[in-house]
Structures are given as structure tokens and as C-alpha cells.
Amino acid sequence: MNLKEIALRLREYKRVYVTGTPVMLRSRLDFLDIFSAYGLTADMSVSKKIGVLVACSNPMQKKIDQAKALNIPVISEQQWFELMPELEALGMWNGKPIPFADDNGIYHIDVGGDG
């Protein structure tokens, strides 16, 4: 499944599961702000209601296997950030600034818009 197809799936399912430890963010909790900006929620378990599973560093293989068994796309943390413009193109971004962490701390990134 390509990123556009995954974005369409997320528009329908609106739920994401994250496994592992993020490298680009402080913690998995930072994903909550990002998901909220796109009208998505983080699920507490892998189920057929999930739109995508994001596998960060050191993910739980059991969760990945569950997602694959349910035909849920599994993407990396990097692919998640590549997916964000596709979600915006579908009109899913609500315009909220998204807190994003780098090695020096937190800063806001602009996602789309006129800047």
C-alpha cells in the first residue's frame, strides 16, 4: 500500500496504533498531539478498527504480526512523517500547530498552509 492509499484508509478508520520508542519525538505521547491535528486517535490495542500501525524503534514484533494478520498497513516512524502531507491533501489537517521534538527540544513545525 502506498502513502496515498494509507491516507485514504486513515480518513476512513481514524485510528492509529504506535509500537516501539520514537526517535523523532520525545515519546509516544507526542504522537497524540499529531494525531489530534489530523482528527485521528491512538488506539490502545491492535484490532481491525486500526487504520495503520506505526512501528518506531524497537517495536513489539507481536503487535506487528497482529497488524499484518489483520491486513493493517505497518509503516515506520519516518514514513508517518512522509504521510502527513498526504493527510493534509485529503483535508484532514485542522490547522493546529504540532509540537515536534528534535535533539535540542521542542519546536513547532508548519504543516502545509500558506506559511
Query: How much is the pTM?
Result: 0.84
| Rounded CA separation 47/59 (Å) | 17
Looking up cell 478498527, which residue turns up? 49
pLDDT band at 100 (very low <50, low <70, confident <90, very high): low
| Rounded CA separation 110/5 (Å) | 23
- DSSP-derived pairing of the beta strands 41-42 and 15-19: parallel
Cα distances from 21 to residues 9, 60, 68, in angstroms, run: 24, 10, 20
Determine what percent of the chain is predicted with pLDDT higher than 90: 63
State residue 47's pLDDT score.
Answer: 96
Per-residue pLDDT tens over the stretch 12-61 = 999 999 999 998 887 888 888 889 889 999 999 999 999 999 999 999 99
For each of the domains in the chain, give its residue range(s) and CATH number, in order of start. Answer: 3-107 (3.40.50.10190)
Contact 22, 56 (CB under 8 A): yes
